[in-house]
Structure 1
Amino acid sequence: MATFDEAELRRRIETVVYASASTVDAQARPRVRILHPVWDWATRTVWIGTNPNGALAAELAIHPHLALCYLRSSLDPFLTEQVYVDGAITWIDPHEGWDKIKSVPPPVGYDPLVSWSSPEDPKFGVLELTPSRIELAALSAAAGWSQSIWRAGS
């Protein structure tokens, strides 16, 4: 297994930006949606602006874990890159989260005013994801399948 490459993690996430996010609902059914995670590269912390009263919030109240998948593909089916992130979720103060999301430069960060009126907007909340596992995976005709995994505490 290859060593974990932080620069490669950042390159892939900054290229794709949006991630498929998977949760489990109250009936143990998987749910997937597209989110715009915002990364703090120094701490590997991820913030996600979302509705604190929506389906995602209800699912996370029961199962406070989230899985993210970033996929970059091309017309060549043998050239894909993925990033998989698994971790625990907590809600943070919306004012703090607003500032964190806004402070990260694009393309990963963004101005929350694009989607919400203010940190007081009742439809605005911020999830903080603490990754427990991050996997970089790729498939190419030249190199075949490759992967590199980071685990919290390793």
Structure 2
Amino acid sequence: MSSIADIAPAFIETAHRIVWATVASVDPQGRPRSRVLHPIWEFDGNRLVGWIGTAPTPVKVAHLEHTPFVSVNYWDAQQDIATAECNAELLTDDETCTRVWNLLKDGPEPVGYDPTMIPVWNEPTDETFVAMRLDPWRLRVFPGSMLLEGSGDILDWHA
């Protein structure tokens, strides 16, 4: 099994290249629900943290209040896969929301974007914008070359 320092750069490279992820949460009845979201990831050499600018919909809030975990899955046409199983938390304080807003706005292409392109978001302190923090306990990077050519390395890590 890989260390977080071994897998985080490969995970971020794959995630930031693919950009859009399927994020699944679980409702109070134990039923999964998926949505497509746009995470951005930071790694300080010891800890990987993901951030998503999102709307605090009643469904999303209820799911995370009941079960504060999500599965984040990236996939592309070359069959490259990156998965993060995470603790998830919606944060609404102005300082965190402003930091995440700027992280998204100033992020590298293609993962960075201007949050004002979302019609209901005018500024990071709008009640329609929250920051979802992702703290992974398991990561997997599975290059498509493993499926198509039998070459490459599958990287796994868990806390």
Same fold (TM over 0.5): yes
Output the amino acid matched with 2:87: A
Equivalent residue in structure 1 for 2:150, among 129, 143, 148: 143
Query: Per the alignment, do residues 113 and 69 of structure 1 end up closer, same or farther by CA in structure 2, a change over 3 Å counting?
Result: same
Residues 20-59 of structure 1 correspond to what in structure 2 (within 5 A)?
20-42=22-44, 43-59=47-63
Output the amino acid matched with 2:25: T
**Taking structure 1 as the reference length, what is the TM-score of the superposition?**
0.83
More strand by share: 1
The secondary structure found in structure 2 opposite 1:140 is: helix
Count of matched residue positions in the alignment of Structure 1 and Structure 2 = 147
Distance 1:151 1:9 in 2: 13
Unaligned runs of 5+ in 2: none
Distance 2:111 2:73 in 1: 15
- 1:48-83, Cα deviation, whole Å (9 max, x unpaired): 111113322221111111110000124xxxxx1110
Identity of aligned residues (%): 29
Query: Quick check: 1:16 aligned with 2:21?
Result: no
Q: Deviation at 1:90?
A: 1.9
Query: Per the alignment, do residues 48 and 143 of structure 1 end up closer, same or farther by CA in structure 2, a change over 3 Å counting?
Result: same
Unaligned runs of 5+ in 1: 75-79
Equivalent residue in structure 1 for 2:135, among 114, 121, 130: 130
More helix by share: 2
Q: Is the 8 A contact 1:18 1:37 kept in 2?
A: yes
Query: Per the alignment, do residues 28 and 36 of structure 1 end up closer, same or farther by CA in structure 2, a change over 3 Å counting?
Result: same
Q: Is the 8 A contact 1:17 1:107 kept in 2?
A: yes
Counterpart of 1:100 in structure 2 is 103
**Taking structure 2 as the reference length, what is the TM-score of the superposition?**
0.80
Q: Is the 8 A contact 1:40 1:104 kept in 2?
A: no
Over aligned residue pairs, what C-alpha RMSD do you find? 2.2
Q: Where has structure 1 moved over 6 Å in runs of 4 or more?
A: none
Output the amino acid matched with 1:52: P
- 1:105-138, Cα deviation, whole Å (9 max, x unpaired): 2222222111111113221111110111110113
The secondary structure found in structure 1 opposite 2:154 is: strand
Counterpart of 2:74 in structure 1 is 70
Q: Deviation at 1:141?
A: 3.0
